[in-house]
Amino acid sequence: MEEIINQIEENPHDSGGVSWDAYPTAASGYLNVGLTDKALAMLKKAEEKMPNHRRATALEFLLTLYTKSGDKGEVYLVWNAYKP
């Protein structure tokens, strides 16, 4: 998974770039196999590319995955961004 995302990031013109939702998908996969650090790195990238026009949906994804990761600090940050 990491190799595919790295290849796309290195050659964005060939692939059209990485869509924001590829990062939460990768994070979910990492969490399923217990690679929390890699999952958190993917979630940070997702936050950077989060679309403004789908902000509420994106924050819901992030909230769910940060909760699954056990990172309370990030859960509260995302929750506070989501509330308004």
The string of pLDDT tens digits covering residues 48-57 is: 888 888 888 8
Q: Residue 84 pLDDT more than 70? A: yes
pLDDT band at 35; cut points 50, 70, 90: very high
What is the set of domains in the chain, with CATH numbers? 2-82 (1.25.40)
Q: What is the pLDDT of residue 13?
A: 59
Total residues found in the chain within this entry: 84
Q: Are 73 and 62 in contact (CB under 8 A)?
A: no
Q: Residue 16 pLDDT more than 80? A: no
35 CB contacts (<8 Å, ≥6 apart)? none
DSSP H/E element including 13: helix 12-15
Write phi, then psi, for 50 (nearest 5 degrees).
-60, 130
Q: Which tokens is 75 given? A: 């859960």
Q: Which tokens is 29 given? A: 């996969």
